[in-house]
Amino acid sequence: IFVCKFIKMDTIKYNSVNSDPNACPKKGVLKQTNRVDLTSRPRLQILSSPVLRSGPVSVAKPSKHLFNVFDGVAHPNKAALSLKAKPNLKQLWLPPGVSGRIYDSPKTLVAASQAPQASQTRGGGEGPAVKLKNLLSESVKRESKLVTGRLDNGMEYVILPNKLPPKRFEAHLEIHAGSVDEQPDEQGMAHLVEHVTFLGSRKRENLLGTGARANAYTDFHHTVFHVHAPLTGSVGENMIPRVLEALREVAFEPQFLEERIEKERKAVTAEAQMMNTIEYRVDCQLLQFLHAENNLSCRFPIGHMDQVQRWTREQLLKFWGKWYFPANATLYLVGDFERDAKDVVSWVNDCFGRIPAPRVGSPLPSATFSPSDMAASWISKRAEGGSKASSLFTSLMGGGANSGGAGAGGQNTAANAAEGNVATPPLKTKHSVRPPVEHLFGYGSLAPATAVPSQVPISVFRHPLLQQFMLTLFCKLPIQPMTRMGDLRVLLMLRIILSVFQFRINGRYVQADPPFQAISLDVSDSSREGCAVSTLTITAEPSGWAGAVRVAVEESRRVQQHGLTEGELSRYLQAILRDSSQLAGQADKIPSIDTLNFVMEGLSCGHVVMSHRDAHEALLKVAETVTLSDVNALCRSVMAFAAFYGQEEELVQEAAGNPAAFAGLGPTRCTSVVACLPAYVDNEGHSISQGAVSGRGANLNPASGHLDADTIDLEQIKSQMKQQEEQEAKAAPPGARTFDLPSEEIIKALRADGLTVTPPLDIELPSVLLSDKEVAELVLSRRPSFAPVRVGTRSMVHPSTCPNTGVVQRRLANGIYVNYRHTDNEPSGGLIRVLFNGGRLAEKVGAAADGFGAVAVGVRALSESGAVGRWSREQVEMFCVSNLVNCALDSDEENIVLDVHFVVDNGGMKSAFQFLHLFLDQPVWDDHAVTRAKAAFLTGQKLTQKSLERASVERVMSAMLGPDRCFRDPTPEELQALTLDGIKQRLSSLMHTGNMEVEVVGDFDPRQLEEYLLTYLGTVRPQPSPLPITSHPLKFRNPPRPERHQRWHLQDSDERACAYIGGRAPVRWGPINGLAGANHLGVINTSSITPSAIAASLERDAQPLGPLVGSVLPPVGEKAIMTNATRQAVTAARRAHPLFRSVILGLLAEIINSRLFTTVRDTLGLTYDVDFETTMFDRIRYSWFMVHVTSHPSQIEAALNASASVLRDVAAQPISRHELLRAKTTLLTRHDSDLKDNNYWIGLLSHLQNPLVPHKVLDCLRDLKAMYECATVEDVSLLYAQFDLRDDAIFTCVGTSGSKNPLEAATK
């Protein structure tokens, strides 16, 4: 390697070197001398060259070695030349065998010798450097099954066969027009046109009831209409042409009826209000500052609501005509087609190929224009064999580049063309760059005109609803298309770096009193924004912000300066390769929707789409070439933006002097820094809370930066600053002060002048968690064995596999129940779920050492600790990473749940069971982990108190259940009272073998699985007699009307509203005679279904559930012709089935949700989001329903009343057979699809042997599908009748936010 710098010389002496592949790498052999002319004649001197020999060389221009400096890639044995070149230098004379890449600042050429001729190497072979260079320049292999093409009218298509889910497919029609294509007076038009075209399509609506699902969305760069459909319809028809016709009508034949336009104005407004949360506003600010130099900062898809209200039909038609044409569309089809792709292409051509292509300069549609009438006309003309159809279409379809539309072309030539003076205008085409924006990138030159300058300012966003300090550092870079093996190698190294950084951050977090809550690093391409973005996000309590920033800078600087260790590189490289191998094995098990999204994003970014198997083979090849020096060179480039904020100029100078020390584009730097700060803190600098008591499950993650931009309203950004000033001008809440953090302080913390970091220490990685000797001793001392399992009326130690379900049941002698099933859903993959009865309902009421919150906090503390046996958290984490074991511990109202994902091969399943044994037998309790867990719940509680939705839910729950708070998080007082010993005692009473069931699903060898069950779970210390599980009873209240129907207001800068309706519901497990109006035979007496009878049935539901009596008969469907006695017998058997309530409640929820959407959202236009659901507890003998609706404060009462009317109108407008059939089709389709998911199977297996859930038996799995198919309208009506929906039986809460309280205004 040699380095050149500028000195006063007129010529350069250059020697080209070819190295002997068998010689020492540092020894070069001169083979030839070449003359070089550097065009700009820089004055250079070779400062050091260990492989070059001295000797004068004359300077002259070679004859055939002109080199394009923007072509080529960096290679091993790099030579760097600093070129004092002109800014417009494009080509450079280089000697034979040299390639390179030019960098912007300063003009730097990185040159590397190319492959020498075979005659120049010993034995005529290739040297290692040559082989490496050839490998990295090799193109990656494109997915062989991927079919792409373009119709004659310019429309592109992408087709890919995919087997999962079977007999179903995805069809996505992408229109290359989004919010960035809008003019200043069109902000939100792309989104509104999407609504009008999609929901106005009758053919799209007719897909309902066929098992198809359809939706649409608008983003920065495109609008997408998508359909998920079965391959065959209800009457056996081929669904692909039918879906294609629906998409054609949506995009190219819309009605644009005035009624539909007005309806969708309301829907878009409601959608904007629904999304107007504090998380939404944080995303607004991040995007605004990230893309300050282009329209991505001011063209959010949701748009301006004042503009949305003003647009005429003609304006919408013109926008549609400008952008909705064949050449500006791409159709994606992915699925199980069961036929050759050529057939699919033929259908695509038949459906879309007949749409004529408009030309540049065509007039835009007028207000009297009807796209659907036009479509019928050109189809008719074409049928006549004439050519007028094309001219008719192009005379009415949109304009070209001259009118702001897509495509290239010159002036509007329509008039001249009519006179015959001008040739036919060219066809319209889409923009070559999507999205059509320019970025300032964080690399290269510091010149203000071409890139982001050194040390960008800190942009600050303050808001009273923010609780945490959040600092986000962005670095924008151009997308590097993945087309060659060298690109894949860079991606592999980048993934290793990100993994190591996060592991080190996790190590800092487990230390006592960490100053941060989260530090995360992400590097990803974004087709929607047309760039790659590196993001470092720091989240902390306001009082600890400086310490959090210091940790982030320290670890970023450590990676940037010292890189990775050999151990880290080896471990994560092997883990990634194992993960890639598993993914390759699951290539046929990836759902079509995931595959389609992957293909769409990859093609939009310019990447070559590879099959998972080919990608793995390529990854294996490039992995062999990865060296620590290469990875650390990439560290110096990638991490520079986070490690050396404010010192960009020094890094650029360092790279100019030693470019080989950096990889890729050289040192990166911040392009924007955004600080999101709470407006107020308490007097000690901690976050404060406002509003109501927290709701259940409070856990708000920080906004994910630039990645979430689908529905962001620019109107709020403009109004926010003024309203924010009004908010901040008000006095701070009691006990609080303004959080005043100057930008200069943040800059000082980020610069961290004088901070030096030491190289990282490698961690000892355990190869196993339990040695063979330890395992042998455990087996000898505890003698594991299987115990008898109850199967029907018999007990068997080794019952055979259930022929109907494929499930195997076992019980270990120490009391652990086991259910397992082999699936090939994830080849070589598996999932273990460990269930402990108890959960939050087992917590003691009140503040005490082991009181309320002990289960929730204890589970979080165990997860925070992460240590088991004699191994530290870092060692356990690295062991799991290396063996692809992924663990998650959580608790809900009923259970403590531990999920363990594992890879079967190469000892992965064994590693998972070793971890399980130590977690169950030797958990490590850590006081610091308990402290962190308490802090996490306290933070979540404070965040929830400022959430309009969660605080409203809490009010409904409080009104229903009163002081019983087992469905909500502990208060600060209850958290403070908890102790390590008390928490440990409470969880130890639940997490033992006598209160435990294990489910295993995966692609494993059953014999090996049973061996591990005995060896590792069978040797867990037994506690055969479970202690009684504390379970405080629930009781529904009958509060006064003001508490039953509540209204409250959250002071905020933006107006939003939500409403909830809640009430009691029947439980999912129980006999038919427990229902009001039904006897033990399932016969219904509707006259006896009164409010008092309903109340009595709900109280019966609350009693403990007895054992299942008798055998479970498979359900039989009713037929049109059968005797009354047979019909009654069939009905009684179906309603006596253990699954009856659960299945019918699911169907009822689907039907009610469909009615809510049709009425409240579609017909009345009062909301964009409304849903109904019931709780589905397994052990808790209480249940309730909840309706959630969002709207504007001025319409929320109407939305609430409309939702309540829909619930009640089911009695007046009985459920139809068509509604039931549609609900059945939807749920059965979902069930068939979910059977390919191991997580779904785990849920099916859960509680099959749980004595506290006695009615869930293997027969339930056998009959699940049949129960859906056999359900009748009368069955659904019976369950609906169990809901008391009177005003004095339901609970409601309306929450509003804004600067003014609408309730006070109404009172005045």
Per-residue pLDDT tens over the stretch 845-873: 889 999 999 999 999 999 989 999 999 99
**Residue 874 parent element (H or E):** helix 873-882
Overall average pLDDT of the 986-991 stretch: 92
pLDDT higher than 80, residue 167: yes
Nearest residue to 218 via CA among 245, 242, 186: 186
> What is the reported pLDDT for 1109?
83
pLDDT higher than 70, residue 609: yes
Q: Are 428 and 409 in contact (CB under 8 A)?
A: yes
Bigger pLDDT: 660 vs 394: 660
CA distance 817 to 939: 37
pLDDT higher than 50, residue 1169: yes
The pLDDT tens digits of the residues spanning 876-917 come to 999 999 999 999 999 998 999 999 999 998 899 999 999 999
Confidence of residue 1024 (pLDDT cuts 50, 70, 90): low
| Residue 1040 phi, psi dihedral angles, 5° rounding | -60, 160
Overall average pLDDT of the 711-736 stretch: 49
pLDDT higher than 70, residue 1128: yes
> What is the reported pLDDT for 31?
30
pLDDT higher than 80, residue 1000: yes
Overall average pLDDT of the 283-298 stretch: 92
Bigger pLDDT: 45 vs 737: 737
pLDDT higher than 60, residue 745: yes
Nearest residue to 309 via CA among 188, 399, 428, 228: 188
Q: Degrees (nearest 5) of the Cα angle 523, 526, 530?
A: 125
The pLDDT tens digits of the residues spanning 1139-1154 come to 999 999 999 999 999 9
Catalytic positions are: 194, 264
pLDDT higher than 70, residue 383: no
| Residue 1217 phi, psi dihedral angles, 5° rounding | -65, -30
pLDDT higher than 60, residue 448: no
CA distance 1221 to 1225: 6
Tokens found for residue 15:
């020697």
Three-state DSSP at 509 gives helix
Confidence of residue 945 (pLDDT cuts 50, 70, 90): low
> What is the reported pLDDT for 151?
97
Cα dist from 1116 to 1119, 1133, 1267, 1270, whole Å: 9, 8, 8, 7
> What is the reported pLDDT for 26?
33
Nearest residue to 283 via CA among 269, 294, 296: 296
- Residue 761: Cβ within 10 Å count: 7
Nearest residue to 328 via CA among 301, 304, 360: 360
**Residue 17 parent element (H or E):** strand 15-18
Bigger pLDDT: 645 vs 703: 645
Overall average pLDDT of the 928-937 stretch: 90
Note if the bond before 1039 is cis, omega within 30 degrees. Answer: no
Three-state DSSP at 75 gives coil
> What is the reported pLDDT for 731?
56
> What is the reported pLDDT for 1094?
84
The pLDDT tens digits of the residues spanning 1184-1212 come to 999 999 988 988 999 999 999 999 999 99
The pLDDT tens digits of the residues spanning 347-356 come to 999 999 999 9
**Residue 393 parent element (H or E):** helix 388-396
Question: Pairing state of beta strands 469-477 and 680-682?
Answer: unpaired
Nearest residue to 1233 via CA among 163, 194, 70: 163
Bigger pLDDT: 944 vs 443: 443
Bigger pLDDT: 1279 vs 104: 1279
The pLDDT tens digits of the residues spanning 766-791 come to 999 999 999 999 999 999 999 999 87
What percent of the chain lies above the pLDDT cut of 70? Answer: 79
**Residue 1049 parent element (H or E):** strand 1045-1051
Cα dist from 89 to 92, 94, 109, 572, 1242, whole Å: 8, 14, 11, 41, 62
- Residue 655: Cβ within 10 Å count: 25
> What is the reported pLDDT for 791?
76
> What is the reported pLDDT for 564?
97
The per-type count for the chain, helices as H runs and strands as E runs, is: 41, 36
pLDDT higher than 90, residue 466: no
Three-state DSSP at 133 gives helix
Confidence of residue 726 (pLDDT cuts 50, 70, 90): low
Written as one string, the DSSP assignment of 922-989 is: SB---HHHHHHHHHHHHHHHHHHHT-HHHHHHHHHHHHHHTT--TTSPPPHHHHHH--HHHHHHHHHT
State the pTM of this model: 0.78
Question: Pairing state of beta strands 886-891 and 895-903?
Answer: antiparallel
Nearest residue to 1009 via CA among 860, 823, 820: 820
| Residue 475 phi, psi dihedral angles, 5° rounding | -140, 115
CA distance 1136 to 229: 34
Bigger pLDDT: 613 vs 1119: 613
Tokens found for residue 36:
């070089």
Nearest residue to 866 via CA among 854, 858, 874: 874
Three-state DSSP at 676 gives strand
> What is the reported pLDDT for 889?
96
CA distance 57 to 43: 15
The pLDDT tens digits of the residues spanning 214-251 come to 999 999 999 999 999 999 987 888 999 999 999 999 99
The pLDDT tens digits of the residues spanning 250-279 come to 999 999 999 999 989 988 887 887 777 788
CA distance 541 to 543: 5
pLDDT higher than 60, residue 6: no
> What is the reported pLDDT for 913?
98
> What is the reported pLDDT for 454?
72
- Residue 644: Cβ within 10 Å count: 24
Cα dist from 785 to 313, 812, 980, whole Å: 75, 6, 34
Bigger pLDDT: 35 vs 1274: 1274
Overall average pLDDT of the 1074-1101 stretch: 76
Amino acid at 145: K
Nearest residue to 525 via CA among 516, 533, 536, 517: 533
> What is the reported pLDDT for 964?
67
Cα dist from 728 to 462, 677, 1300, whole Å: 9, 12, 15
- Residue 1086: Cβ within 10 Å count: 10
Stretch among 94-108, 131-145, 283-297 having the lowest mean pLDDT: 94-108
> What is the reported pLDDT for 1253?
93
pLDDT higher than 70, residue 374: no
Instruction: Output 869-874 pairs: Cβ under 8 A, ≥24 positions apart.
Output: 869/769, 869/770, 869/918, 869/922, 869/924, 871/766, 871/769, 871/918, 873/506, 873/507, 873/510, 874/503, 874/506, 874/507, 874/510, 874/763
CA distance 163 to 337: 8
> What is the reported pLDDT for 543?
92
> What is the reported pLDDT for 998?
98
Q: Are 336 and 165 in contact (CB under 8 A)?
A: yes
- The rounded mean pLDDT for the chain is 82
> What is the reported pLDDT for 367?
62
Helix orientation angle between 545-562 and 485-509, rounded to the nearest 10 degrees: 140
Q: Are 1145 and 1139 in contact (CB under 8 A)?
A: no
Q: Are 332 and 244 in contact (CB under 8 A)?
A: no
> What is the reported pLDDT for 221?
95
The pLDDT tens digits of the residues spanning 954-978 come to 899 999 988 766 677 888 999 999 9
CA distance 667 to 651: 6
Written as one string, the DSSP assignment of 599-653 is: HHHHHHTTPPP--HHHHHHHHHHHHTT--HHHHHHHHHHHTHHHH-TT-HHHHHH
> What is the reported pLDDT for 935?
87
Confidence of residue 1092 (pLDDT cuts 50, 70, 90): confident
> What is the reported pLDDT for 388?
34
Q: Are 681 and 470 in contact (CB under 8 A)?
A: no
What percent of the chain lies above the pLDDT cut of 90? Answer: 59
The pLDDT tens digits of the residues spanning 175-191 come to 999 999 999 999 999 99
Bigger pLDDT: 1110 vs 1220: 1220
Mean pLDDT is highest, among 377-386, 542-551, 1085-1094, for 542-551
Question: Pairing state of beta strands 3-6 and 78-82?
Answer: parallel
Give the 3-state secondary structure percentages of the chain, helix then strand then coil, rounded to 5: 40, 15, 40
Q: Are 75 and 103 in contact (CB under 8 A)?
A: no
pLDDT higher than 90, residue 645: yes
> What is the reported pLDDT for 453?
63
> What is the reported pLDDT for 91?
34
Cα dist from 83 to 5, 48, 64, whole Å: 8, 17, 21
What is the CA 345 to chain-centroid distance, rounded?
A: 31
CA distance 495 to 502: 11
Q: Are 1200 and 1059 in contact (CB under 8 A)?
A: yes
Confidence of residue 1025 (pLDDT cuts 50, 70, 90): low
Confidence of residue 418 (pLDDT cuts 50, 70, 90): very low
> What is the reported pLDDT for 402?
34
Q: What is the DSSP letter of 232?
A: B
Q: Which residue has the tokens 């991040």?
A: 286
CA distance 52 to 493: 32
CA distance 46 to 82: 11
